[in-house]
Structures are given as C-alpha cells and as structure tokens.
Structure 1
Amino acid sequence: MSPDRPLGVFDSGVGGLSVLAELRRALPGEDFLYLADTAHVPYGARTDEDIRDLTARAVAALHARGAKGVVVACNTASAFSLTHLRERYGSGEGPFPVIGLVPAVKPAVAATRSGVVGVLATPGTLRGSLLQDVIRQWAEPAGVRVLTAVSADLVPLVESGRAESDEARAVLREVLTPLRDAGADQLVLGCTHYPFLAGSVRAEFGETFALVDSGAAVARHTRNVLCGAGLLREGGAGGSVTYLVTGDPERARPVITTLVGGAGQNTQVMQVST
C-alpha cells in the first residue's frame, strides 16, 4: 500500500466535513476522498443492520477507489459498524486502517466544574452501546452526571444548509434547555454535523456550555495510525480533496461549498454508487 494514495473519509452526509477540516490541518500532505451518503442520510433512525450495511458499502467504495484507509467520520456509523469493518479489513491499525469516532466524553468529564455534562446525540448514537461504554469508563468513576439530549431534526437542517436558521435555534432551545437547567457546563457534540450548529447554540445559550467534539482528537489519532502503518504522506503536493456523494451532486454542492468555506468557488462534487 503506497503512502501516496488518498485517505478516505466517510459520513452519512456533510457532517463529516467538520472532521475533514481537522484532518486537513493535522495531515497537510495527504490527499482525501470524502464520501457522503446523501442518498440515505440521516442514519440516526435506521435499523442497526441498515446502518452496518450502508457503512460497509461506503467503505468498500472508498477501498475500490484506491483509498489507503478510511476514517468513519460519523458517530452513528462508528457506533454500529467499526467491529464489523475491522473484521473485514483487518485490525484498526492494519494494512487498511479503519478509524472511527468516540464521543468526546473523556475531555468533557475532565473539564467540567459543575459535575454535569450534556451530550447532544442522534437517535442512533444514543441507541448504540459506544456512548454508554465511554460514560461507564470515564464519567461514572469520576462521579460526573451525564445527561443526554436527542433530536432527529438537526441533521436534516445541517444537510439542507439551515444550521443557523430560526428553525435550528428553536430545536436547540427545546432539547438543550433541560441540560442548561440541570447545570451542565460541557456539551459533547455527539454527531459530526453538530459543530456546524455552534453558532446557533451560542445564539441561544451564550457561553453556558463549552462545546466539545472529537474532530481534533481523531485527526491526531489518524496521524499516529498512518505513521505506525508506514502510510503517512509528509512530502509532495498533497492537500487535495475529491468530494463524492451518493445523492444529487447539484443539491449537495452549495451546502458543501458553504461548509468548507469555499463561498464563491466552484466545488467539484461527483455522484457515485455504493
């Protein structure tokens, strides 16, 4: 496997662009293939089997296009699919690394002063065992109370370019007010779409919550994994991104362009099947 091959990044939609931004900062020499399964987003309300199948198909598509590894930049897909993917492709740090996300409960627990941490999650992430595992590992021994808030409406709002709309603020106000009233001072963003809602959270709640996500941590971990596998590309031009979607590329293009900060640019988005 050549280090010059691109690194795959997968999400159910455009939320993984928040992780891609961190990966590009940590790995400036890498080229990336970003695949958004926009034909099937959101994943949160889908069955466990459906999530695993869609994720496996997407990772297989990236593998077939020459990716040297994949970052599953989707909390719901990570919660249900990582074990199955690693059984298929080998160890998470093997010849085709499969790297996933873990909800950022650990840093939130370390930072809280009130002893109450909130987690904003999708229905799928809340249903999976991964979140409960990290709560048991990090919050319970520290005596920190973890409260969860869930909404099926937020991902579609980000996907449609309405992350800072009045509608998004209304949903956030409804689901996060109980966390504020309970004293939460840390808010774990348990979906890669949710960092794009930071402006709306601030507009509604000011500095009530410190917002915590796993993007920077997964980028550091990815660098370590690639280095350990002899797959890190440090020289050369690098830095390119190919955007792939399973749905309508014309519909996805303006949202992707806005979220990657490319206003006024003609972002190239291609449709693929998985």
Structure 2
Amino acid sequence: MTPEDLHRPVGIFDAGIGSYDLVRRIRAAYPQQDVLYLADRASFPYGAQSESSLLDSVSRAARALERLGASSIILASNAPSVTVLEPPRERLSGPILGVVPPVRAALAALPDDRTLVVAGASVLVHSESLERLIAMEAGDDADRVHAVPADALIALVESGAFLDRAQVAQPIADFLAALRDQHPRLGGLSLSSTHLPWLAPAIAQEAPDLFLFDPADQVVAEFAPLATPGEGRLVSLATESPSHPLAEFQSMLQRMRLDITPTLVEL
C-alpha cells in the first residue's frame, strides 16, 4: 500500500517511536480515518536539536506529508509544537495540530495547594516558548508550574528499554524521588513528550498518588472536525541516517509486536 491508496489521510510524524502512541489513539478514536505515519529518523532526535534545526526538520517533514496527500497534519512532538510550529502552520495549505502541555486543564484538576511538573525534553523545558505558554495558561498560578527535563526517561523509550518493566522501574523511581525532593507539593505530572505516555503505567505504579496528564488527549479531541472517513488504512514511512538506519526502526516495531512495515523515503 502507498500514500496514493489513502483517502485524505492525516499525516502524523515526529523523529521517533513516540508518535506511534498518537497514531494508535487517533485510529482508535476515528476508526475510519486513513493515516500516513512518518518516523523522521534522519532528524532524530527532535528533542536534542536547536530551535533553528527543529524548524528546518519540522518544515521539511510537514511539506513532504502535504505533497503525499495529507489533508491535515499532526506534529506529534511536544518540543517543536511549543517552540517552532507557527512558521510551518502559516506556510501549509492544510491545518497542522501540535501537542502542547495541558497546563490550564491540569491546574484546574489539581487541588489548589498542589503543583504541576511539566516533564519533557531539555529543548522544550528550557525554552522561552514554554515559559510564555505557562505564563499565559497558568496566569496567577504560574508559580505552581515547574518545567523539568526528562531526557533520561525519554531515552528509555527510544532505546526500547520500556518494553521490559524491570529495566525502567529504578530509573522511574529515581526520577520521581528527585522530583518530590525538589517539589514537595507535587500533585501532577504532564507527560510532555510523546514518548512518556509509553511509561505511564510504570509511573502510575510507582506514584499512584500523582495525577498524570497526557497532552495527546487534547489533540485527539481537536482532531474531530478534521476527520475524513476512509477505510482506516495505515501507511508507514521512515527516513534514515547512518546513525539511525531503517533496520533499527524496523527492529523496534518488531519488538513492540506491531504489524507495520515502513517504507524508506527521502524528504
């Protein structure tokens, strides 16, 4: 099957396996929706790039998906969604959604004396864009929101270690212990990397008292008016680099027991 076989698909992409969780959720919520899924491994990892490099990578991938027939696009990566989404959004002919921390909704769900940690890639949590988003969404409660890098947890997903609960238990316990030491009133955690929801069951087991917020929830809801009934088909594409060849990505899909065969493309 090729992109030409799809009916007005949604293009969903990021640089790694994290975006597949959003692919899975869109297909579950909109079972007739055709999906064009791109793993941009040639630009891996998005979360470690500068903002200028991110803009180049995201723009190139989004333009390619539009050329391949995507009627709408979801950038399934928190860091570029917050920091560099507006320029490609202005240049594309169709809509493009991003994944952003649900700061306002999370604070509303937490008791007034509890704080929220936005966990994500360093390029996100140290960005002025996230600082502005928190100020806008939290208002007078901005002092209850703390951005914390979670690169070590993200690496557990990209390496495939997350497939073995025993390998992730201690790193997650260490991460949460450090968070509690730094933020004693911690009440909630925004999983603000599309990799982190893969770890949500293990995080919930280690910290059942914490509220976990998945930014993808909002995207799945926002996609409703863009849904275009097809036959629920999926076409997977991937780019590669010498450091991250297609075989590496295929191996990850096999370990996850996903019946997906990506086609190698150049953007």
Say whether residues 1:241 and 2:241 are aligned partners: no
Equivalent positions of 1:11-90 (< 5 A) are 11-89=14-92
Q: Counterpart of 1:172?
A: 172
Equivalent positions of 1:100-249 (< 5 A) are 100-113=98-111, 114-142=113-141, 145-163=144-162, 164=164, 166=166, 168-181=168-181, 182-203=184-205, 205-224=206-225, 226=226, 232-234=227-229, 236=230, 238-247=231-240, 248-249=245-246
Residue-by-residue CA offset, 1:170-225 (whole Å, 9 max, x unaligned)? 4333332233341212110010000011133234x23031210111210111222x
215-224 vs 49-58, which deviates more? 215-224
Unaligned runs of 5+ in 2: 1-5
Say whether residues 1:256 and 2:253 are aligned partners: yes
Alpha-carbon distance in structure 2 between the residues aligned to 1:49 and 1:105: 25
Q: Counterpart of 1:98?
A: 96
Alpha-carbon distance in structure 2 between the residues aligned to 1:66 and 1:208: 44
Report the count of equivalent residues. Answer: 254
**SS in structure 2 of the partner of residue 267 of structure 1:** coil
* Greater helix share, structure number: 2
Deviation at 1:254? 3.7
Q: What is the identity, as a one-letter code, of the residue corresponding to 1:107?
A: A
Alpha-carbon distance in structure 1 between the residues aligned to 2:77 and 2:178: 26
Deviation at 1:137? 2.4
Q: In the superposition, relative to structure 1, how do residues 5 and 239 fare at CA in structure 2: closer, same or farther (>3 Å)?
A: same
Say whether residues 1:4 and 2:7 are aligned partners: yes
Alpha-carbon distance in structure 2 between the residues aligned to 1:101 and 1:131: 12
Deviating 4+ runs (over 6 angstroms): none
Q: In the superposition, relative to structure 1, how do residues 87 and 138 fare at CA in structure 2: closer, same or farther (>3 Å)?
A: closer
Unaligned runs of 5+ in 1: 90-94, 227-231
**SS in structure 1 of the partner of residue 11 of structure 2:** strand
TM-score by structure 1 length? 0.84
After superposition, the CA RMSD in angstroms is 2.2
Residue-by-residue CA offset, 1:134-167 (whole Å, 9 max, x unaligned)? 3212334246611232133333321221124555
